[in-house]
Structure formats: structure tokens, C-alpha cells
Chain A
Amino acid sequence: MPPKFHGVDFYNVDGLLSEEERAVRDTVRGWVDDNLLPIIGECYVEGRFPKQLIPGMAELGLFGANLPEEYGCAGLNNVAYGLIMQELERGDSGVRSFASVQGSLVMYPIYAFGSDEQKKKWLPQMASGKVIGCFGLTEPDFGSNPGGMITVAKETADGWVLNGAKMWITNGSTAQAAIVWAKTGAIEDQNSIRGFIVPTDTKGFSAKDQKGKLSLRASDTSELVLQDVRLPKDALLPKSGGLKSPLMCLTQARYGISWGAVGAAMACYDEAVSYARNRVMFGKPIGAFQLQQARLAEMLTEITKAQLLCLQLGRLKDAGTMTPQQVSLAKRNNVSMATDIAREARRLLGANGILAEYQAMRHLANLESVYTYEGTHDIHTLVLGQEITGLSAFS
């Protein structure tokens, strides 16, 4: 078991955090040290999500922690929420993904687009972990281009009928409720996309675990099939409308990912520093060699920059002025830097770096997914390109 984690804070970024923000971070940090790290290596190798952690996460209040208290949530600010994501991903990207999906992709759309009845019915149950959710947007043939989706919802006299398939759905087989996005109008009409709350025990709904993943192995990733799924009228999220709605959810989740990536990078750096100090080769610790020092110096520099980046992003989000393009920049930068750090840490660890006993290779493999999901690195590059030039590269 790795020693207790004490963070990476070269620029006294802690001094920019409030007492509550630090307390939240420390509580999640301690929980991850005690409950997640001792089991994650084994879960990863066996390819299973540590479901037994759900009640503990709920008890701490990790689900939808930035949503209001009236729905059973903690009502934290977005910096504290980001710090939760950082600490969870310091444990494992798969476990952070679980919490991201529950909070930002399931509870958030119900909160933002749901009716009062829907909010009162679902949010407290989700905050307490009694209902787990998943988010069905991506389809087998529509990843970076979700507006092209072919899942449809037809209105009937008493409700809706959904048909289609979704892929790469985190929590898909675990969930009791799925937020499914479907076109309610013509197949070329992106503006007809609406969100639906689908209880996963509804007839015609099925979820199948996606086998053979070499990344995010401690996470449930599933394929959803909706075949004549009949839903009552009130399954529709009334305030959802157009592709913009699911993209708003993704902005929330990507915000958390920007922080999460810093956590994964910190874990890899911390492990690399400790290894470099202790591993002796040619009669001295490998940390005394310039090549390893350069690696570590680079890691610390990138982590420090990323910390300041997401802290300011969080302050902008709390002030209500954060733009999706700013989130794109942070997600793109931080996940890429974390992937690079995980790879360099893995290399610094030599042969030991390929073992599940150490963290670097697990984080590295995970981060390749994080690099690709929630807007690939390339798509975020194009989002920024469009923001800079005013010219879209997509169409």
C-alpha cells in the first residue's frame, strides 16, 4: 500500500483555497487513501468496478456535490467540486468517471432541464446513491458528431416510444436510470434532440457490458439498446431542447475532468518521486541522475501550471462567467499533460512500472480513454481553433 498522500503543492496553491475547500479536499483524500487505493489494483486487473464503495461515497456526499442542499446534495462551490474530482482521480479515473457521470451527466441534466417533480423524485435518491444513473448520448456511429445521432423518440397518445442504440456508456449496466438523448423530429434536425429519464427496468431497454477494454478497467462501460421502449409523458426532460442541452452537461463533466486529470498526474508524480529517491542503481538513488531529475522537474512544472489553470477555471465557474471554450482548453491541456506524466512516470519506474502494484501504468492506460472521451483532444483543438479564428473546421 502506498504511503499517505500529501498532495503536490509547489506554489502554495492551498493558500488560494478557502478553509472549506481544503477540508473537502482532505476528507476525500483520506477516504481515497483508506478505501480506494488498497483495492483498486486488484479491481483493475479483474476488470470490475468497486461497487462496494458506492454507499461510502454517497455518505460523504460526493454525488452532485455542487447541487443545492434542498435535493439532498452538499451545495458546494465548483472549486470544492473540482477538488473532489481531483482526489477521486488520484485514486482512479474509472472511479472519478463514475462520480462525474452520476453528478454532472445525470443529476445535472435533471436539475437543469427537469420539472420540479422530476427533481424531487430523482435527485435525493441519486445523491444518496440509491439510484445510479448513466448518460446515453454517444452512438456506435456518432461519437465526435453527436448531432448525427439516429436514436429516435416518437410521441404517442400517452407518452413516448424510443428506439436506438448507445455505446461507450459509463455505468450503463450498473444504472437504475438512464438519461437518453433522442431525436423527436426529423433525423437531420439537431434541434429536435431531447432528453429522457429511462428507468433501466423498462421493457425493451437492455445494457451489455463492453468486453475487452485495456483502459478504465475498474469502470463499467456498456452498450445500451432501446427497442420500442415505451415511456410515460413525464419521462421527457421538459426544459431540454436541441444538441445544446447534452453539450451543456458535457461542459459540466469536462470541467470535473480538468481537475481529475491533475489528480492522476499528482499520483504518478508522487509515486515517481518516491521511487526515484529509493531505487538504487549504479550505487546511488536513480533520482540523483540528471535524466530522472529532468523528468521530475518537467512533471512538477506541468502539474503546477495545470493546478492554477483549473483553480481559475473554477473561480470563473463560480462567478458564472466560465465559457465552454475555456473548459475545452483546460480539458485538452490537463488530460494531455497527465497522460504525458503518467507515461514518463511509468518509464522512470523501469520494469516495476508495468506492474499493477504501482499506479503509473494503470493511470496511463486510463488516461488514454480520458484523452478520447468527453470531446477528444483533437475536437477540443478545433473548438479552440474556432474560438480563435471565428472559422469552424467542422463543416
Chain B
Amino acid sequence: MKIAVCIKRVPDSEARVKIAADGKSLDEAGVKFILNPYDEFAVEEALQRKDKAGSGEVVVIACGPQAAQETIRTALAMGADRGVLLEAATVPADGLAVARVLAGELKGGGYDLILFGKMAIDDYNHQVGPMVAELLDLPCVTCVAHLDLAQGKGTAEREVEGGMEEVEFPLPAVLTADKGLNEPRYPALKGIMAAKKKPLEVKPAAFGAAGLEVLAMTPPPERKEGRIVGEGAAAVPALLRLLREEAKVL
């Protein structure tokens, strides 16, 4: 089974990010970057599927700067077979531009399955996976929480409002992974050492014209200091009144 996993290098979910001087990008100085957590589920799923099939290849593909090689090596350390970096100093904010570059790489690759994380935790767009599916004319299932594959067909469960939805699709297909799909493994120490020796191809990425542009980024407003209304049960009526009248959350 040949599986592609498209991954993204993102700032650590707990990093304190600052907005750069241009007012529309992040200041990357001193920020730790990690493999997008949802992509970890996609990598893990690919590794498990390959194991189950008994043979195959897991190829990890990323669009990003040179430093994204390290992100690819994290996936290689988990057990993926080889990596491809579509290199560009900056990745456009326009998901479609990224999807076109990825689709160009994936096309004709003979993949049975193309996996993504359901979204990147830096831009929250949920776009690139479905766009790649569209560009490759493949079925797409997003936010997969459970997956079964058999004889060229797949069944996936998705969490939807108030319950689960089960869908069936033919392979090849593009899937985006949700939390709960599996328990991603830690890259073992031997895997980290082996990752250095695995092939990692770097190609320049040529992004087409972008359909959208980031105008400005602003941090969330400072939270106002809290106020203690009183103590014990006696304070409850006053608290309720303030929540209703002042905060207007009830």
C-alpha cells in the first residue's frame, strides 16, 4: 500500500507567538516549531495501514522553508520511508496555492491513500486536504475519527454534531485525520537515528498567483482583570445578576 502524508511545520501549540514588524506575519525568532499535531494522527495512521498491508511505502510531503526538513524528519523518525520537501521561503496564506503545489507532486505518484491532518493549528483553515482531493478528482472524507479499509474500499467514521456519521468511499481517496483516529507513537531513539539516513528530496515549490492576501494580524484584546463579587452562597445572586446584566453571557 502506497500512502502519502502531507504535513506542515507549525509553531508549537504552546509557543507565545508575536506579530512581526510588518503587522501581517508571525515573528519566528525564538519560536519552536513542531509537526502539526493533527498531521501526527495522519502519519500514525499511514504507518499502521502499511504495517497491516504487510508492504508498501509511506511518503511524507511538506511545503515549507528549509527548516521544514526537520519536521519531515520527525515523521521519518516515527517510521515513514521517505520525504519530499517542496521548498519555499514562505508558504502562501492561500490554501489553494499550496494545494496546487501538493497536487502537482502527488499526481501520478500512484498513491492508494493520501492523508492530511484535518487542519493546521496555525491557520485553522481546514482547506488544503479537500482542495487537493478536488484538484486530483478524488473522493475526500474530512475529520476521520475511525477508518476501515478492505479490497479497494474504505469506510470512515466522522464526528458530526450530536453523533457519528459513517461514509463509504473507493480508493484512492484523500482523508483528513481527526483527533482520536489513533494514538500517535513517540519517535523512538533508533528511529531518530535512522531518519538521518532516509531519503529526503528537496525541490523548489513554484506557487501560482494567490487568491487572497493577509492584510493584518492582531493579537486578541488583553483580558480585563477579574473581580471577586463575594464569597460563599451569599454571593451567588450578585454573580448571576452581573453575568446577566454586565457580562451578558446568561
A31 in contact with B186 (CB, 8 Å): yes
Tell me if A23 counts as interface (CB < 8 A to partner B): yes
A24 in contact with B70 (CB, 8 Å): no
CB-CB contacts below 8 Å: A21-47 with B: 23-24, 27, 30-31
Tell me if A146 counts as interface (CB < 8 A to partner B): no
Partner of A60, one of B14, B188, B193: B188
A23–B196 Cα distance when bound, in Å, is: 11
Min C-beta distance of B41 to chain A, whole Å: 15
Residue of B nearest to A77 (CB): B193
Tell me if B73 counts as interface (CB < 8 A to partner A): yes
B192 in contact with A20 (CB, 8 Å): yes
Tell me if B77 counts as interface (CB < 8 A to partner A): yes
CB-CB contacts below 8 Å: A57-73 with B: 59-62, 65, 69
Min C-beta distance of A259 to chain B, whole Å: 15
Q: What is the total of A-B residue contacts with beta carbons within 8 Å?
A: 48
Residue among A27, A31, A59 with max Cβ neighbours from chain B (10 Å): A27
Partner of A4, one of B14, B188, B189: B14
Residue of B nearest to A80 (CB): B189
Tell me if B74 counts as interface (CB < 8 A to partner A): yes
Q: Give every chain B residue within 8 A of A80 (Cβ-Cβ).
A: 189
Q: Give every chain A residue within 8 A of B73 (Cβ-Cβ).
A: 19, 23
A24 in contact with B190 (CB, 8 Å): no
Given A20-B192, A76-B193, check contact A27 B14 (CB 8 Å): no
CB-CB contacts below 8 Å: B190-204 with A: 190, 192-193, 195-196
Q: Give every chain A residue within 8 A of B77 (Cβ-Cβ).
A: 23, 27
Tell me if B172 counts as interface (CB < 8 A to partner A): no
Tell me if B65 counts as interface (CB < 8 A to partner A): no
Q: Give every chain A residue within 8 A of B190 (Cβ-Cβ).
A: 61, 69, 74-75
Residue of B nearest to A35 (CB): B186
12 A-B contacts, Cβ less than 8 Å apart?
Answer: A6-B12, A23-B74, A24-B189, A27-B189, A60-B188, A61-B188, A61-B189, A61-B190, A65-B189, A74-B190, A75-B190, A76-B193
A6 in contact with B14 (CB, 8 Å): yes
Give a binary string over B63-77; 1 marks a CB under 8 Å from any A CB, 0 the rest.
000000010011001
B14 in contact with A74 (CB, 8 Å): no
Q: How large is the interface on B (under 10, 10 to 19, 20 to 34, 35 or more residues)?
A: 10 to 19
CB-CB contacts below 8 Å: A369-387 with B: none
Given A4-B14, A6-B14, check contact A23 B192 (CB 8 Å): yes
A4–B14 Cα distance when bound, in Å, is: 8
Q: Give every chain B residue within 8 A of A23 (Cβ-Cβ).
A: 73-74, 77, 187, 192, 195
Residues of chain A at the chain B interface (Cβ within 8 Å): 3-4, 6, 19-20, 23-24, 27, 30-31, 59-62, 65, 69, 74-76, 80, 84
A80–B77 Cα distance when bound, in Å, is: 15
Partner of A74, one of B74, B193, B195, B196: B193
Q: Give every chain B residue within 8 A of A4 (Cβ-Cβ).
A: 14
B193 in contact with A30 (CB, 8 Å): no
A27 in contact with B187 (CB, 8 Å): yes
A69–B195 Cα distance when bound, in Å, is: 14
A59 in contact with B193 (CB, 8 Å): no
Partner of A62, one of B12, B14, B189: B189
Q: Give every chain B residue within 8 A of A76 (Cβ-Cβ).
A: 189, 193
Q: Give every chain B residue within 8 A of A75 (Cβ-Cβ).
A: 190, 193
Q: Give every chain A residue within 8 A of B12 (Cβ-Cβ).
A: 6
Known: A6-B32, A23-B187, A23-B192. 19 other contacts (CB 8 A): A6-B12, A19-B73, A20-B192, A23-B73, A23-B77, A27-B77, A27-B186, A27-B188, A27-B189, A27-B192, A30-B186, A31-B186, A60-B189, A61-B190, A62-B189, A69-B193, A75-B190, A75-B193, A84-B189
A3–B12 Cα distance when bound, in Å, is: 14
Q: Give every chain A residue within 8 A of B192 (Cβ-Cβ).
A: 20, 23-24, 27, 74
Partner of B186, one of A6, A60, A69, A74: A60
Residue among A3, A20, A69, A76 with max Cβ neighbours from chain B (10 Å): A20
Q: Give every chain B residue within 8 A of A84 (Cβ-Cβ).
A: 189
Given A4-B14, A6-B14, check contact A19 B189 (CB 8 Å): no
A30–B32 Cα distance when bound, in Å, is: 14
A148–B197 Cα distance when bound, in Å, is: 49
Q: Give every chain A residue within 8 A of B189 (Cβ-Cβ).
A: 24, 27, 60-62, 65, 74, 76, 80, 84
Q: Give every chain B residue within 8 A of A27 (Cβ-Cβ).
A: 77, 186-189, 192
Min C-beta distance of B153 to chain A, whole Å: 33
Q: Give every chain B residue within 8 A of A3 (Cβ-Cβ).
A: 14
A30–B195 Cα distance when bound, in Å, is: 19
Residue among B12, B187, B192, B195 with max Cβ neighbours from chain A (10 Å): B192
Residue of A nearest to B15 (CB): A6
Min C-beta distance of A61 to chain B, whole Å: 4
Give a binary string over B162-206; 1 marks a CB under 8 Å from any A CB, 0 the rest.
000000000000000000000000111110110110000000000
A84–B189 Cα distance when bound, in Å, is: 10
